[in-house]
Structure formats: structure tokens, C-alpha cells
Chain A
């Protein structure tokens, strides 16, 4: 009888610990997936912006004969962003694209004919929204990454994280000051 209890008690404790560790492990995996998902959401929105540009340029071109320079900048930044080989180049090109687009939206104010075009108005709303979605996706990623990083560093989940090598995620930060200001699209 005594031997049986002596065996069962440590066994019970071991099972409890195992259940506990499995629970934390699953939470960490779920959080990591959420961070990955939030990251991919940024790419989804950037791609949406790339798809939008040809249509936008096509609609606006006819009305804005004197703004060839702006259009070239937009198309160039877009093709550089799409063809970028590494993350740093892509981020730089996307930054340039954001700049070019916000300049374009400023210039639009001088073309009342264009602003009366229903097709353009709907494109303009889509563009505003896409710019917003890009910055909200970045914000959402940072929130999610912060929560995940906190979880990895705090006891007791840090022990499990160490055992299965969950690593911290970097925050999304915009390098140059100019782009930090950019998300406001003026109409």
C-alpha cells in the first residue's frame, strides 16, 4: 500500500507538470501563428496597393497632363518594390511609393474635373483605405508581437519558451523620418 502511494504521487505530479507544459506550449504556438498572420497581413495590403496603381494612373493620366513626373515616380517606385530582392530594399521602395502617392493626392486638388469623376472618386477611397490598411496592419503586427514577446519573457511561460526555442520577434519600425510622417494622405 505504502509503495503504491509512493509511486502514484510522483507520477501524478509528473502528469500535472506535463499537462501544464503542454498547455503553455500550445498557447505559445497559437500566439506565434497570430504574429506570423499579422505579418503576412502587411504583405497582403502592400500587394493590394501594387494592384491598384495601374488602374489609378490610367484613370488620372488623361486629366493630369502636366504631372508626368509624378506618374513616373509612382510607377518606378511600384516596379522597384515589386522586384525588390530583399526586405530592406522592399521597405525602402515601399516608403518611396507612399511618398509619391501622398504627393499625387495633394496635386489632385488642382484638378476639379478629375475630382468630379465618379470612377476616380471610388479609386481615391480605395487608395485612402489601402494606405490606412497598410499602417493598421503594421500597428496590429506590433501589438501582436509585443504580446508574444511579453509572454516569452514572463514566468512561467519563459521556461517553456526556452525549452522549445521560441524566439522574440522584431517590431516593425520605419527607418527614415520622412516615412514616419507619410501615412497621412491629404485630399
Chain B
């Protein structure tokens, strides 16, 4: 028996994958993040603390995925009867060949977790574990009716969002309850299939089965002692999606989804989200909203995404109360409303009280009006809005409502909402546009004053010593930026700056090698010249304290381009001979290093280099010394 439970069938009837899988897949990472965060928010434990959701993604060895061997076998047995399912099966089989796959997990804290895991598939609605794990289209009932009203999910298909994000439609959930009991469940969404001479349903449950009588089967979860990616050891739930589909591990898109959908939950300190090392809370969210990497910040260009505007409207403008009636019931909302001529597209965000956005609502006949608004109700309003939501919780409308009377009331409600907003917008326009006054032409008639920064000296980390010459400091950004060349005669400052030695590969090297210090030589101390087919290199170490006590040094070569990028240089490939200009003794070289160069009393080292014909004479260098 495998670790996944698939119910037996008499024969195969349905040849398609669950249709919602592809619908969710099309929503990409947005759908996945929204569903999981919403579920976590709904399960909030203490009202004094935010729900914290940790999103992690990375690599996972396939062998560490619980029960994977059986799934591999089953996926091999799938047979597609139409083009679409054939393509999906092929994708699954291809994905199964990998040894390492991507995963994403959502771990929540300050949440209840699921109850009654030990009871397994008990069919008791209070055993939320059993309901969550083994049923579709229903959800466990909150014991507090107020909370039940404001919770987000209403279509009972949210769980499948996680399956849809996996190449093989696989997800796990690890639970830790209030008693510290840790269990793990999961599902895989295949199609009805034949496996080892029997027929099975599409859905497999990661569970153990206990059989009663002839054919009564009850499922129980496993105790959680699997790989740490699957571990959940504090109260709450963790969703793990292995085989994460391509393009889903998009951090920018995740951050944006969180800000877009949970703006108010975050601003109201109900939710904190951590993505790998990023933390999005009521303070840091403003940083993301004003970062060009995530959002357009020019108000006049905010034509598709409005979250930075909603944040402004919600935090800066006091709410006004508005009442919208559907002729049977009157609903009370808080409306936050901004009017700003720079806004090119007018939208009203509708939020549930839990702080999750339902819709960027388009007010009829006002989509291009320069306003921005946020609308939030209370518990009753949440219930009503929930009934108007489409399946993916991204808009409200009356179109999907089946009951004729409810539909009529919904239409009335939306018409009232539109006309009330229309009235408010018109009033504001009148207030902001007196018929007599200056016409704002700042977008077409203006002059631009452009400022430049003049960098007088190089922005190098340079220091001046008493001769006015400089040695380059390495790795020091705090050094003074401007120094006049001839000034600073009396200033004392370190002339050579230590550069860390690269780690020595082994300890068998000679002791004196180990003790050498490395310095970068500021280009001012060096003069180079190619004349008569030879290169002369002149080093002036006369003022360098670090060099004064040394009798000799090693000199290292680095190629440098104008932007400061450095490249390796091999002396043997380019140079034939390196000679001391005064003593005519030759120096050995190895790699990019000349060894044992004598430093005379006056500190002036002059080398004469004979180079190969292939040597690129246009190269520019930086030098390092070791003493």
C-alpha cells in the first residue's frame, strides 16, 4: 500500500483534469499567494498580534518528498484521452524525471492551526483537520459567528490553488495544533486512472487508511517526521508546494501581490509577511510602495496599478460614512476619498474588514476621473459583498448570481453604489474647478532647470600625505572625496593601506610568505613609459612608511579599465624579461607577480620590461605590492 489514498472506482468516466486547476494556474503566483494568505488571515488567533506568514522558496531533492515513489508510478500509468490532458500528463512525466525541484512554502504563526487531526476523517465539522484534508467544496465552521462572517473564502476551492501551482498538482500541509501535535496531509490532483489492475479516482490523499467492515475506509494523517521543508513545529499551518511551476518563484510579483491584496491588513497590523529575507509590515510596506522596482511612482502614470494611491488615500484622508441600500437592507461603509487632477484613472478599492482587497472597482461613467478611493464596511457588509464576489475573489458583480430576486437586489445595490460615488466625484470636481481662475498649464508650458554635480577630484578613496602624493586605499568608501593635489602639506595620514591576503591554500608554505602584507599602489606613485620597444616602470616609494624598512618586495600586476573594472594579467604570456634599471639584475615572475624586487635606499624602483610582440601596448594597469 502506498502513502497516498485514491478511492477505487468501477471504471473510468471522467477523462479530464479538474477544470479549476488551469483557471488558478492562469492567475499565476498572484492566485497562489492570495489564497494562502487569506486562509492564514482567517485563522488568526490573537487579535493583539499580527498573523505572520513566512513564504520560502528554494530547491528540494525529489527523494525528500514524502510518498513520491508511488506518485511516480501512478503518473506513469496516466492515459490522456484528449489533447489537453495528454499535454498535462506529458508535462507531469517530464517533471518527474528531475532530481531536484523548486518548492514554495507558506508557514503561518499566530494562527489556530487545524483541530482534531487525530480523529482523521471524522465527518464532524468541528474537526477542521478532517474537513480541510479530506473534503472538497466545504469549509470548517468557525465557532464564533462574527468571525465566520468576515472570513474570506466562500467558494471552497481555495485549497486547489496550491495544487495548481505544482507541475504535478501536488501539495502538502503540515499542521501543529494547540497541543503541539504535528501532522501532515496533502493531495495530488491526477485524472481517473488504472493502476495495478484497478481503477482509481483523480484525487489522491496523503494519508493512511483504516478499514472497517467490508468497505468502510477512514483516512488518518501521518505524524510529521519528514524533511525539514515539511516541518511545522509551532502552532499553525504550513502549505508546501513541491514541483513549483516555472515562473512562479517571482519575488517581485509576490511582493506586489501582497501589497496589492493585503494593503489594509498590513497597514492595520493584522498581517506581516516574510519572503525569504524580506519583511513586509506596516512600516516597511511604504518602502516597497515607493520603490520603482515594484511600482510606478509617477501619479500621472498610474493607469493599471493603484496600490500606492490607495495607501495614500487610506492613511491620509479621514473616512466619510456612506450608506448604500439594495432597497431591502441598508449597508454602511467607510469611504476614503482623494481627488487629485494628476490621477489619470479613477478606481475605488473595495476591501473586506479583514483587510483583503476584493476589487479595483470601476465607478460607472467615472473610470477616467481623477480620484482614488477605498471602501470598507463591517461584518454585515462583508457577508453581502461576499455574495457578490466572483470565484477568484477579484471583483464584485451581479452576473454570477443565480437566484432571480437576489440578482435584482444585487443590481440595485451596485447601481446605488455607482450613483453615490458619481455624486461625490461630481461635487469634488465642482469644488476643485472654480469656473474662474488660473488654467493649469504646467504640463505644457514650463522651463526645466537642470542641475549637475561636478566631481572636481576623482571620487576615489584617496588620502594625502606630506609630499602631496597618494596611495590608494582599498575597500574604504569613507575616505575624504575631495583633496586638492597641492594642498595638505602637513597632513599626516597612512599612505599604504593594507589589503587582506588571499587565504593560503595550505600550511606547508614558508613562514615569511605567510607574513607578507599586501598594499594597493595609488597610480600617482607609478609612471609608465613605452619607449624604444621597452617598457619602463617607475615606482616612487620614497615617502611610503610601510616600504621603508623593507629591502625588497613583490609587485603584482592588474589590468584596469576606465570604469575601474579589474582583469587578470599573466606576466609570462606578455613579458620576456624584467630587469632592474640600475643594477641590471633580472627578476623572476610567476602569474601576475614579480618576486623579490630590491628597494633601494631612495625608495625609487625602476624596472625595464622586454615584452613579447603580441603584448597589447594600450593596456592600463594598477599595481599591488607585498612586503
Q: Does B bind A? A: no
